[in-house]
């Protein structure tokens, strides 16, 4: 998944905790092998290569993730879309060499973007594409599933206090920190990795952050982030970062991307309809303006 995962545990039996952590990280590794676009033998790559030919059977947990992604796509009116792969390719983000493509190339990629082109059969657990060239990209949701799976694995070892993160962009807080009811987790300052723009308290919750500082390139003084607006085919603008707080990591991972694309007004509407979802947005006021965090909805805890 292109990042480092860590598990922080609290308890009395150090050996048992170490075994629990290793089991949790082994599960993360298995998910990476299954869902990576950079492993030619992954199940995701097989789906991308064959689903336009006909229905492809999908492992149940991966099928559940695809179904969840489809639901979030619908709930966010397309702001989060796992079919964004062709756009990521034409903008050069898969190769790490960002470029501004011609509009006709963007339009061609958009012809292969949209969950309306994906058929999921819940009874047979299969996926099918209605046209060739579609490429699923789980980069905006797989880390969340991984921290969820790690938390479930720790629970099997009766671990009640842990913090699991994938590159700090997605964090799951199991129980509370030692001698505390909650975990306190900072949100990175967009211009300085050593500073925090805000902090929230979490308990049995996930926090994910999408920022324009993660992968980007600059051209003619304009910063183009890897976070795509799947509706327009262009990188989303107007936000420095967007964080989502939910009960599940896969949902927070996806929603942080969606909130970055949606902006403040539509994020407020989304959170208002979902009492267990919160957001922390950092709007882009320009490089000369000190960023300020905007809290939205429930579950954002206290600074």
pTM over 0.75: yes
CA–CA distances in Å: residue 105 to residues 88, 117, 191, 283: 12, 19, 32, 29
The confidence band for 299, taking pLDDT boundaries of 50, 70 and 90, is low
Handedness of CA 223, 228, 229, 230 (dihedral sign): positive
Q: pLDDT tens-digit profile of 219-270?
A: 888 889 999 999 999 999 999 999 999 999 999 999 999 999 999 999 999 9
Average pLDDT over residues 82-108: 92
> Is 244 within the bounds of a domain?
yes
Phi, psi values for residue 18, rounded to 5°: -65, -40
> Is 280 within the bounds of a domain?
yes
- The pLDDT of residue 132 is above 70: yes
> Is 287 within the bounds of a domain?
yes
> Is 89 within the bounds of a domain?
no
> Is 109 within the bounds of a domain?
no
Q: Which residues are paired to 198 by β-bridges? A: 187
The confidence band for 302, taking pLDDT boundaries of 50, 70 and 90, is very low
C-beta of residue 186 within 8 angstroms of C-beta of residue 199: yes
**For residue 237, what is the domain's CATH number?**
3.10.520.10
Query: Number of folded domains in the chain?
Result: 1
- The domain containing residue 258 runs over which residues? 160-297
> Is 288 within the bounds of a domain?
yes
């Amino acid at each position: 998944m292109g990042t480092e995962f860590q598990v922080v545990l609290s308890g009395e039996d150090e050996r048992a905790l170490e075994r629990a952590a290793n089991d949790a990280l082994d599960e993360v590794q298995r998910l990476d092998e299954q869902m990576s676009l950079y492993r030619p033998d992954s199940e995701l790559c097989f789906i991308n290569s064959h689903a336009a030919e006909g229905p492809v059977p999908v492992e149940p947990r991966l099928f559940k993730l695809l179904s969840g992604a489809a639901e979030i796509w619908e709930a966010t009116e397309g702001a989060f879309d796992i079919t964004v792969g062709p756009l990521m390719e034409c903008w050069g983000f898969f190769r790490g060499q960002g470029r501004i493509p011609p509009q006709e190339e963007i339009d061609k990629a958009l012809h292969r973007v949209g969950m309306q082109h994906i058929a999921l059969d819940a009874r047979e657990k299969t996926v099918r594409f209605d046209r060739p060239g579609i490429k699923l990209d789980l980069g905006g949701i797989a880390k969340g599933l991984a921290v969820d799976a790690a938390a479930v694995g720790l629970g099997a070892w009766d671990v009640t206090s842990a913090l699991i993160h994938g590159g700090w962009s997605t964090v799951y807080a199991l129980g509370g920190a030692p001698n505390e009811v909650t975990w306190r987790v900072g949100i990175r300052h967009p211009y300085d990795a050593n500073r925090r723009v805000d902090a929230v308290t979490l308990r049995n919750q996930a926090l994910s952050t999408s920022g324009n500082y993660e992968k980007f390139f600059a051209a003619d003084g304009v910063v183009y982030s890897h976070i795509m607006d799947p509706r327009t085919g262009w990188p989303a603008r107007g936000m420095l970062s967007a964080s989502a707080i939910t009960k599940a990591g896969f949902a927070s991972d996806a929603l942080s991307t969606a909130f970055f694309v949606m902006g403040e007004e539509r994020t407020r509407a989304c959170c208002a309809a979902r009492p267990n979802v919160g957001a922390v947005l950092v709007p882009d006021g320009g490089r000369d303006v000190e960023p300020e965090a905007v809290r939205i909805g429930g579950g954002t805890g206290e600074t």
